[in-house]
Structures are given as C-alpha cells and as structure tokens.
Amino acid sequence: MRTGIATVCLSGTLKEKMQACAIAGFDGIEIFEQDLVTSPLSPEDVRKMAADLGLGLDLYQPFRDFDSVSEGLLQENLRRADAKFKLMSRLGMDTILVCTNVGTATIDDDDLRAEQLSRLAELAGDHGVKVAYEALAWGKYVNDYEHAHRLVAAVDHPNLGTCLDSFHILSRDWDTAPIEAIKPEKIFFVQVADAPKLSMDVLSWSRHYRVFPGEGQFELAKFMGHVARAGYSGPVSLEVFNDVFRQSDVERTAVDAMRSLIWLEEQSAKWLDANASATPGGVAGATPAKAAGRRRYPMELATLPKVAEPAGFNFAEVKTDGPAQLETLLGQLGFTFDGRHRTKDVQLWSMGHARVIINEQAPSHSQPAIAALGFDVDSPVIASARAQQLKAPVVPRKVQADEEVFQGIAAPDSTEIFLCQGNPDGTAAWTREFGEGLERPSGGTRAVIDHVNLAQPWQHFDEAVLFYTSALALEPQPFAEVPSPSGLVRSQVMQTSDRAVRLVLNLAPLLQQGDRKSYQEHIAFAVDDLVATARAARERGLEFLRIPANYYEDLDARFALDPAFLATLKELNLLYDRDANGEFLHFYTATVGSVFFEMVERRGNYDGYGAPNAPVRHAVQYDSLHSRN
Amino acid sequence: MRTGIATVCLSGTLKEKMQACAIAGFDGIEIFEQDLVTSPLSPEDVRKMAADLGLGLDLYQPFRDFDSVSEGLLQENLRRADAKFKLMSRLGMDTILVCTNVGTATIDDDDLRAEQLSRLAELAGDHGVKVAYEALAWGKYVNDYEHAHRLVAAVDHPNLGTCLDSFHILSRDWDTAPIEAIKPEKIFFVQVADAPKLSMDVLSWSRHYRVFPGEGQFELAKFMGHVARAGYSGPVSLEVFNDVFRQSDVERTAVDAMRSLIWLEEQSAKWLDANASATPGGVAGATPAKAAGRRRYPMELATLPKVAEPAGFNFAEVKTDGPAQLETLLGQLGFTFDGRHRTKDVQLWSMGHARVIINEQAPSHSQPAIAALGFDVDSPVIASARAQQLKAPVVPRKVQADEEVFQGIAAPDSTEIFLCQGNPDGTAAWTREFGEGLERPSGGTRAVIDHVNLAQPWQHFDEAVLFYTSALALEPQPFAEVPSPSGLVRSQVMQTSDRAVRLVLNLAPLLQQGDRKSYQEHIAFAVDDLVATARAARERGLEFLRIPANYYEDLDARFALDPAFLATLKELNLLYDRDANGEFLHFYTATVGSVFFEMVERRGNYDGYGAPNAPVRHAVQYDSLHSRN
C-alpha cells in the first residue's frame, strides 16, 4: 500500500512537515495549498527537497468552489485553475483535488456541472494534470461520493477522476459497498481519516475532531476493503484536521500517523479475508472487480506479526530512590517482600499472582511513580517485532548473560511496556533472579492486578489509544467523564475481551496537567474477600483514604443496604457500587509520590470500576493534597 | 434581584466554593448533591457555615428520574426522596430541584405522572419541602417547560411548583413568552445559563459548553423579562456546567459569575423598558400579570451607571525597561517622539491621533509587552463606577497633585484599561504632562489606532468577553479560526458599532500558551496611504515582516491584480485582501519582545482584518522565531 499524508495534518513549516514525513517513512505527501503559500520555499525548492527526502508529491489540494456557477464565475475559476496547473508543473505534481462547491454554487444542474467539469478536465489535460473530484459532506449540491462519481463518469475524460475521502463518506453514513462499482482507473486518489462518533454539525466535526485510523470509531477496514476490491492501487493518504495534532510535535505526530496506516493496512487485509466469499452489499450482481476479470486486489496489503490479546498483567513497576513509604504500604496491604534482584537495585513484592517491582535505580529525590507494566503474551519476540513494525520506540534494558531478556517498548506517556512470557499458571521465570522458588505464586491471599490507571498527557491521548490498540490488541471502550474538584477527568478503558487486562487511560483537567502532585496514577488489585483484606490491612496500620459520612448516607438512600453491611463499609472506608450484573467493593490507600493503590472485590459479573464513587475519591484526594500543603 | 449560583459551576471543595460565593457577594447558593456527598462537612456544618458566610441555601439539586415509572420503582423513588427530604431538614433547606425523567421512565402518561408527582408533593409537604419540577431539554417524555408546568398545574399542590432553566428552554428554542402565563407563586426557582449557539447534541452542549450570561448567544434579557413580568421575585441562580470554569480559580470564577448576573439584571431592566407597551407574544389576551392585578415587576432590578461605547482609543502603552528597539521601530514607522513625562519614566510617541506610551517603569530585563490601553469615554468617573460595580479590579496609578487622575481597571488578561476623557477633536489633556502643545494631534501623516490584538489566557477567554461587553460596551462578533504552524488561533473581535474601537482577543493554541515568545500581541495603526507610509518606513530602514513570493502568486491567482500594483505589493511586503465592501492593505513589523506593529489602509467599507492573510503572518513569524533560535 502506498502511504501518504496531507501536510495539513501536522504542525510546523512545510519544510519541517516534509522532513518529519520522510523520517516517519511515508511514501508521499499531499501538499495543502496554504502550506505552500505561507512557505519561503519556491515550488522548485519544494520539488528538490521532496526528491532528496524520497517523498512523492502525490496531491495538490484543495481547489475549492469550482462548479455549479454562472459562466462569468466559471471563467474566473478556469483562470484560477490555470494558475494552479502551472504551479503544479513547477512542483512536478500531476494530481489536484477539486472539491464540490460549498461557497459559490448557485446552479443545481448536473448537466451544467458535467459540462463545467469537462472544461476543467480539458484544461487540466493541456497541463498534464489529473483532477480528482471529491464530494464534501457539506457540499451545497453534491455531497455524496456516488453523485460526484456519476458526474465523473458522465464527463468520461481521462483527466477527470474521483477522490474518495473516508470522512466525507462515513460521516454521512453513505454505504461504502458501491465503491466497488467504480472503475479503478477512475479512482484518482483515496484519503482516509477516522473520527469519534459525535453528534454535531459535520463541518465542525470534520475541521477539529478527525483522528488517525484506529483512534476513532469509523469502519475504516471495511471502507478500505471495498476500495481494494474496486481494484484501486494508488496512494492511501491521511487527511486529518485535528486541533491537537496541529500543535503537537511534528515528528511524533508523523510517527503516530504512520502507525495508523500500518495498522489500517493489516485491518483491511483482515477484513478482506473475512469477507472473501461475501457478495458485496449494495451492488447488484457479481463483484465488479471479478466481473471485469481484473486481479482481485492489486493493492498490496502488508501484514504484521500477529499477536493475540495479552493473557494478563505480569507485573507493575514503581520507580523511586526512596522506597520506604511504598514498602510500608505494600506490607500493610498484605504483600510479601520476595527479595532483591541479584544484580540490580530492584525489589520484588507479591500477593498471589499480583507482582509489584520497586525499582530503586532512579534519580535522587524521585517520588514514587508508575514506571513500567509487564504483560503476559504468547511470544514476547513476536509481540515485540509487531510493536517495532508499528514504530513503537524500543526500551533498552541491561541484562546479564543468564538473565531473561525483556522485550520493552515505550508507551506514548513514557510508561515502559514489557512483553513477557506468560505461563498459563501465572508464574514468571524471571522471578528466579530474585530468589529461589519465587516463580510460584506466593501463598496467602489470592490476588491479581485488576487494573492499572495511567494519567495521560492531553496531547498524546489519541496516540495512546492507537498504541494500545495496535501494539497490544487492547480494545477501547466508550469513554467516561468524572467530576473532580479540579475539573472533569476523562477516563478511557482499554481492555481484553476476557478482562484479564484492564488499562484505564485518564486525562486530567488541563490546568492540573503540569502539576505532578495532582496527577495521580494507581494500581488496583482484586481479591476474593475485600472486607477481610481491609480488616487485615487495618490491623497492620494501613492509612485508608477516608470516605466522608455523607457518602454512606447517600449510598443508603440509593441502595437501601442492610444496616450491618452499611456499618461495615463505613467502618472500613469501603466504597460500594451495584448494577444489574453484580456488586463492587473497593478501597484506596493514601498516595505516595504520584502513586496510590486500590483493592477491589468483584461480585457476580460486575464489569465496571465503581464510576459513581470516583468523584468521592477525587474529592478526598484533593482535600488531603490541599490540607497537607 | 436575589442572586444565586449552583456549586457545580465552581472548582474546589464545597467549603472553598461557599467561601468564594460569599466573597463574590452572592445572596444564596444551590447545593449540587455531589458536592455535599463528597464533602467531609456534615449537613449541620454546612448549615452553620452558610449562616456564618451570610449565604442562603436556596436549592438542593438535582433529584433525578422520579416520575413516569412503574409502581415498584416509584416506591423506591419515594424512599430515596424521603431520605433527601430528611437531609434537607438537617441542612435547613426547603426547596429541591426534581428534573424530568431521562433514565428510568417507561410509561408516557400525563395522568400517571401527575399522580406520581402528587404523591411526591404530599411527602414533601410532610417535611416542609417545596419541589421545583424542571423539564430537562432531553427529558424522555417531558422536555418542554410548558408541559412540565401543565403537570404542576394539574397536581395543584402547594408543595409542587416549576423550576425554569434558561438553558433547557432556549437550547430547544421554546418560546419564552408563555412564561408570563405561569402564576408567580408556582414558579419555585429560576436558573440561568448562557451558551454559544452550537450545532451538537443538547446533552453534550449542556454539560460542557454553558457559560455565564453575556458570554454566549442566548436572549437572556428577554427570558428574564418574561420571568419578571410573570411576577416572579425569587432567586435568579446560575447553573453553568463548563469544563473550563470547573477547573479554574474558584474565587475568580465566582466574581466572573457575579458580574454576569449584575449585567443580566441591567439588561433585563432594559428589555422591560424597551418592551413596556408591547403585548407579550404567544400569550393570548391581556398580560397575565396585569390581568391578575398584581404589581408588574415585584423583582427589583438594580441599575448600573450608564456608559455609551467608547469613542476611540486614547492611547496604547508598551512596558519595557529596554526601549531602544521599540523607539527605533516607532521612529521608522513615522512616529514622533513627543517627550518624557515630567515626573515619571515614561515616553510619549505620536502619529496623527495615534498615541503610544513607552513605560520604562518596568522590572529589569522586561521585554516589551502591551501593558495598557486607554479608551475615550464620555465620563471616566461614571465609566469607572460602572466597572467597579461590575467587580472589575481597580488599577491604582500614582499621580501628582496637578496631574490628570486616570481611572484604571484590570482586564482578565491583566492588561490595564484606562478610562480617559475623550474630546471630539481627538486631543487629550494629559499629554500636556509631556510637554507644551502636545494635546493637539501632531502634523504629518494622519493616523489612528485601528485595532489592538491581545493574546488571552485560555482559562479566562469567556471572562474577557463578558468584561469588555459589560464594562466597556463593546460588542462581540462571531469568532474566527486561523491556522498557524503552531495550531489553530481563535480570534474574537470586540468592537463598537462605529468601529472607532476594535479589539481582537486572540486565543493561542494551548501548547503555545506557556511560551511568552510565541504569544505575540500587536497594535495596528490605520493610515490614508499605506504604500506611501511603507515607502517612507523603508527609507528609514524599517525591517518589514517578509512575505513569501508564493503568497503573491496565489494573490494573483485569486484576484487577477494589475501587474504594477502586484509588483508594488511584493516590493514592499504588503498584504492585500478584497471583498464585496472594499479593499485592505497592510504590513507588519518584526517583533520586539512580545509586541509587533501593523499598518493598515482600509479602502471603501472594508470591515475585516485581512483574515485570509493571517496564516501567512503566523507562518512567517513562526519561521523567524525558530530560525533565530
């Protein structure tokens, strides 16, 4: 698949954008006109730079408001087009995007439009330019790709073809199956963008909220499957207007963008495999590509090393050079100190299958912070190969000759993700490096890591969703919003289908993001009997997060709980939730550095995180943070 | 007018919110349930604190999902209500907000609803509680205030009344005139919120984008006029869910909120005056309030000192302790150095009616930054009194006995706003303090301050709009968005009807906001002949912002300009725009500190700011900033 990206997706100058695209490995770019107009580079400079960087200049865009106009205005538009065609020749570009008229269209007549497009195609032909005509979702008269293509087909000129843009098609819920009915030589260009499903006017949605494939909710693999079945083999290029990407680091965004196309390529191939025998919906009769006797998918779709979703958390690692408070906390929760690593300044603590590493190899005065997570995968090498092909940065970890080699990659928030050999019995061979017999789960309380809650920098939130989706096969859930005294916290759950791994990506309110203290993260452990665990922890002197009495009154008003049970909850500072699937009991510890712990008990098939209780947790944490100061 | 605010509008703990409301001068508050549930304060503590702070506890809210349910669920809901009524008695509160059912309603039957509400009113009566029933805009069966009120009227119970919320009414475009048909004793509560007109689902709009009155586009004065004419005299209380207000400084937001109500009070009185003789639309027959023989407006609406819109800019002030570059720049532009202030370390420069003050009373190593603006007003004292009643912070300025006393207030971005005595001939008496005869405009080039462009901190943008609207009578225009290499820049013009004052509030992309260097502001001067001004400035060695050649090619493609004119534009680095009203020529200087200057010429009735050229300006500034580093 030939990969491309429009310069409008990225921040910086045209030069910076082109360099970042080359570094990220794109085959070509679309030049967004404004990026050229505002650049000190001459068209000839741009042409040379692209050649030097190995970047194709695949599309000049956009040319707006051409058709459906009076003859006088058409003459002006042809003059304007002529100037752009000449410019393209200096750039060495051969394809221009012309979108359907939004601003100046006054005449709704397909015959007139076809005639006007025909004159444009004729002029383009004189300059050796191909016009890719695209239906904008909010085009005044033409807003549907099939309508746009009917015009292209009616004109039937070699210099006029169709541009398919997934946003304009999927935002309007147009059926994508009829794409297969378009002759491949008439599809001049394909643009892809994903988007969250928002209920707002399509223009604002398009201009601010597009995201890279895998970061939204559009069925892009299906869209691409139809495009491939149509026989298209040209560039697949990202055109993503996004307020965040436009301002964030250009090289990093370009890599995120490239990752999204690599992932989309794999997903498209999968969709084609899964739908190989299906008759495409919406198109009567045989598959047009087949009927035409063409090769089925001239677009080459590269594959990636395959991974299944992780089987569970292997460990969680907290980094600090002052571990005393952390050690106390883990001990009070019921964790056992298993030992120190034989060569590194690292401690291992465990409780049942839950393992916590305290890594003391930290700069001095480092407050405890979650630094790494280990995931159980079938094959760490295959998983690592996949992640690296998806351009995840590799984390180097020093190992001795006889120690286990950890395959590590860096998540967008800098958390180190280790891909570990998971055993069905939950053991981990590497624990031997901390002492004999540690690969077996420790006795006592049965426990597992239930979920880990990571705070995300706002400018890398979408990137993080794609990272965990593509590299770790986690599935994003609909996001929630939780009020806190510092503002709304966005919470995005990423999980496996069996819930063995639950990762919660939190987006703190903007004003809090610079403040490490209020940017708290946590690790939650699940046990079988939370009340017993809490009592034992209290015996050991654990400082619980103190839940206000008002909470228990409200709980009673909502659930009419058994008075003895309610008294127990209140006595132990436990929180409670209930829904149609089951019950949820949980408590929180005080915060050390930027880390705290949660213990949970899931009863029945309760699948949530006690969301109604999250505001209480935030309020109490805020209060204790502010009263401490 | 009794003023109120819901605690959900503000950041912080319940205690912090209550204190901020008292400081801002609210009469009462609504307690948002979650704020109490998450608080360590007992209901008795809250009651005592409110009494100590002089705050009424006017509304407990919200009680959700009560009506339109099966008998079994109703029993549960009555039990839940009973618990809340008991809680209210401990709080000493007598009114609760019950909103129409969104989540659990299954039976759409007004008779059943009336019966269920009647049982709720009966129970409320037993506890001395009044139930204010409110139609949510997205209520499942009841989403219209008239429908909600028909139910209230049908139940006809002294403990059941209506709550009117401007957002739920105006977001759905419900007619507000029929409010007058509601008996005043049946309006238990009135909530007000403004909002920008957005085309999105009403729930998201409501939960994230509400703003304080005067910061959005709703016709709130009219809404309040109808409420007053209905004879309502109870609390008028803000309920504003806003992602920014929820996280910004609580005391500051509370003052912004209070300002909005003071302003709304005045606007409502104005609306009533303007519509005194009008027969209210939508209500058949005579004005109900009149017909019922009641006093017309039992709600007392306080007035403010009146101001007209400012007649022009009196001066602009740039502060720095290193003025050399600035002096050079002003000299090159054609400004005359008029002298130093006789007692202060301040310089005056002028060009026609445009005056620039360089204030050297700055901390050492202060890069030049726009520090103050002077506006010509009819009466500085009246304008200052108005601003202070609107809770604008006063700026103290030291003056000698015989010097002009400047009335100064601080804008939300800390720019000092001085209210100056404007003379019809554009002179200013205070200039005498810089030397003889300076009150007359200097000879040579005719010039005025055309507009000033101020960068706003994102968390105070809405506050700034209300500040300039209410204190200075500027009119907000629809905002624009301009692409820059660092992201989208939001641009909000505030202006007078005659355009004598044009202020542009800019919102830089978030990642740039911390970076003073890229946070540029500017002062634009209008002249009669820009080409001549530019030539003269070039003679004097002015460094123009260099406009790329590509820009002029695109200009030609768009406008087919006369080649000689185009050559002149290109030679002098001038930018150009044209629309149906006229033409616009302008150029920019290099940036000094965080300030640059613009010179403009408006031809015909051109009323804009050359928005199509803004991306070029941003790109070149970005480039020069980055290449300098």
What CA dihedral angle connects B141, B144, B145 and B149, to 10 degrees?
Answer: -40
pLDDT (0 to 100) of residue B442? 58
Asked if A11 lies within 8 A of B80 by C-beta distance, the reply is no
Tell me if residue B500 falls in helix, strand or coil.
coil
Nearest-angstrom CA–CA distance, A369 and A595: 6
Q: How confident is the model at residue B404 (pLDDT cuts 50, 70, 90)?
A: confident
Whether residue A297 lies inside any domain: the answer is no
Is B583 found in the same domain as B487? Answer: yes
Is ipTM over 0.90? yes
% helix / strand / coil in chain A, to the nearest 5?
35, 25, 40
Whether residue B375 lies inside any domain: the answer is yes
Given CB atoms, is B580 within the 8 Å cutoff of chain A?
Answer: no
Does residue B626 register a pLDDT over 90? no
Q: How far is A627 from chain B (nearest CA, A)?
A: 11
Given CB atoms, is A559 within the 8 Å cutoff of chain B?
Answer: no
Closest CA to A12 of A252, A253, A247, A258: A247
- The total number of structural domains in chain A stands at 2
All residues of chain A having their beta carbon less than 8 Å from the beta carbon of residue B615 are 34, 37-38
Whether residue A301 lies inside any domain: the answer is no
Whether residue B300 lies inside any domain: the answer is no
Q: How far is A305 from chain B (nearest CA, A)?
A: 36
Whether residue A261 lies inside any domain: the answer is yes
Given CB atoms, is B90 within the 8 Å cutoff of chain A?
Answer: no
Write phi, then psi, for B142 (nearest 5 degrees): -120, 110
Question: Does the pTM exceed 0.90?
Answer: yes
Tell me the pairing of strands B346-351 and B336-340.
Answer: antiparallel
Asked if A43 lies within 8 A of B12 by C-beta distance, the reply is no
Is B198 found in the same domain as B52? Answer: yes
Is A217 found in the same domain as A81? Answer: yes
Nearest-angstrom CA–CA distance, A329 and A325: 6
Is B401 found in the same domain as B275? Answer: no
Cβ-proximal residues to B188 (8 Å cutoff; 6+ apart), any chain: B95, B130, B131, B132, B161, B162, B163, B234
Domain end call among B259, B291, B323: B291
pLDDT (0 to 100) of residue A134? 98
Whether residue B224 lies inside any domain: the answer is yes
What is the helix (H) or strand (E) element at residue B35, kind and residue range?
helix B33-37
Does residue A578 register a pLDDT over 70? yes
All residues of chain B having their beta carbon less than 8 Å from the beta carbon of residue A42 are 549-550
Is B110 found in the same domain as B228? Answer: yes
Asked if B42 lies within 8 A of A550 by C-beta distance, the reply is yes
Residue A431 near residue A355 (C-beta atoms within 8 A): yes
Domain end call among B291, B326, B343: B291
Q: What is the pLDDT of residues B482-509, one digit of tens each?
A: 999 999 999 999 999 999 999 999 998 9
Is B413 found in the same domain as B370? Answer: yes
Residue B213 near residue B192 (C-beta atoms within 8 A): yes
What distances in angstroms separate CA A347 from CA A321, A360, A422, one per listed residue?
Answer: 12, 8, 20
CA atoms within 13 A on the CB side of B129: 30
Q: What is the pLDDT of residues B206-249, one digit of tens each?
A: 999 999 999 999 999 999 999 999 999 999 999 999 999 999 99
Residue A340 near residue A349 (C-beta atoms within 8 A): no
Among the partner-chain residues A37, A551, A553, the one whose CB lies closest to the CB of B554 is: A37
Whether residue A305 lies inside any domain: the answer is no
Is A201 found in the same domain as A91? Answer: yes
Whether residue A299 lies inside any domain: the answer is no
Is A336 found in the same domain as A284? Answer: no
Tell me if residue B401 falls in helix, strand or coil.
coil
The single-letter DSSP state of residue A593 is T
Q: How far is A451 from chain B (nearest CA, A)?
A: 24
E-assigned strands of B425-579?
447-455, 475-476, 480-484, 487-495, 502-507, 521-527, 575-579
Nearest-angstrom CA–CA distance, B258 and B29: 12
Residue B90 near residue B126 (C-beta atoms within 8 A): no
CA atoms within 13 A on the CB side of B86: 11
Q: How confident is the model at residue A490 (pLDDT cuts 50, 70, 90)?
A: very high
Does residue B510 register a pLDDT over 90? no
Q: Which residue of A has its CA nearest to B620?
A: A38
SS (H, E, C) A276-299: CCCCCCCCCCCCHHHHCCCCCCCC
Interface subset of A 356-415, CB within 8 angstroms of B: none
Among the partner-chain residues B512, B557, B616, the one whose CB lies closest to the CB of A84 is: B557
Q: How far is B70 from chain A (nearest CA, A)?
A: 17
Nearest-angstrom CA–CA distance, B46 and B40: 10
Residue B303 near residue B382 (C-beta atoms within 8 A): no
Domain end call among B223, B257, B291: B291
Percent of chain A with pLDDT over 70: 94
Which of A38, A458, A588 should we substitute to test contact with B (largest number of B Cβ atoms within 10 Å)?
A38
Tell me the pairing of strands B447-455 and A130-134.
Answer: unpaired
Nearest-angstrom CA–CA distance, B436 and B519: 38
Asked if A42 lies within 8 A of B550 by C-beta distance, the reply is yes
What distances in angstroms separate CA B540 from CA A466, B102, B449, one per listed residue?
Answer: 56, 70, 21
pLDDT (0 to 100) of residue A446? 86
Is B361 found in the same domain as B485? Answer: yes
Write phi, then psi, for B349 (nearest 5 degrees): -125, 145
Is A261 found in the same domain as A379? Answer: no
Task: State which amino acid sits at residue A54.
Answer: G
Does residue A379 register a pLDDT over 70? yes
In this structure, how many other beta carbons lie within 10 angstroms of the beta carbon of residue A504? 20
- CATH number of the domain bearing residue A379: 3.10.180.10
Given CB atoms, is B620 within the 8 Å cutoff of chain A?
Answer: yes
- CATH number of the domain bearing residue A23: 3.20.20.150
Q: How confident is the model at residue A518 (pLDDT cuts 50, 70, 90)?
A: low
**Average pLDDT of the residues in A227-240:** 97
Mean pLDDT, rounded, of chain A: 93
Residue A215 near residue A465 (C-beta atoms within 8 A): yes
pLDDT (0 to 100) of residue B518? 60
Q: Which of A211-215, B131-135, B445-449 is predicted least confidently?
A: B445-449
Q: Which residue of A has its CA nearest to B483?
A: A246
Is B343 found in the same domain as B258? Answer: no
Percent of chain B with pLDDT over 70: 94
Tell me if residue B527 falls in helix, strand or coil.
strand
Residue with tokens 């400047």: B406
pLDDT (0 to 100) of residue A404? 76
Given CB atoms, is B246 within the 8 Å cutoff of chain A?
Answer: yes
Q: What is the pLDDT of residues B542-584, one digit of tens each?
A: 999 999 999 999 999 999 999 999 999 999 999 999 999 999 9
Nearest-angstrom CA–CA distance, B128 and B95: 9
Residue A410 near residue A452 (C-beta atoms within 8 A): no
Asked if B511 lies within 8 A of A485 by C-beta distance, the reply is no
Q: What is the DSSP string of A292-356?
A: TT--S--S--------PPP-EEEEEEEE-S--HHHHHHHHHHTPEEEEE-SSSSEEEEEETTEEE
The single-letter DSSP state of residue B589 is B
Nearest-angstrom CA–CA distance, A343 and B105: 64
Asked if A247 lies within 8 A of B511 by C-beta distance, the reply is yes
Tell me the pairing of strands A28-32 and A2-6.
Answer: parallel
Given CB atoms, is B44 within the 8 Å cutoff of chain A?
Answer: no
Given CB atoms, is A459 within the 8 Å cutoff of chain B?
Answer: yes
Cβ-proximal residues to B268 (8 Å cutoff; 6+ apart), any chain: B1, B220, B221, B224, B225, B228, B301
Task: Identify the domain containing residue A257 by its residue range.
Answer: 2-291
CA atoms within 13 A on the CB side of A438: 22
CA geometry: angle at B342 spanning B337 and B343, to 5°?
125
Closest CA to A523 of A614, A452, A454: A452
Tell me if residue A174 falls in helix, strand or coil.
coil
Mean pLDDT, rounded, of chain B: 93
Nearest-angstrom CA–CA distance, B34 and B62: 9
Is B240 found in the same domain as B100? Answer: yes
In this structure, how many other beta carbons lie within 10 angstroms of the beta carbon of residue B336? 17
Q: What is the pLDDT of residues A29-46, one digit of tens each?
A: 999 999 999 999 999 999
Asked if B551 lies within 8 A of A38 by C-beta distance, the reply is yes
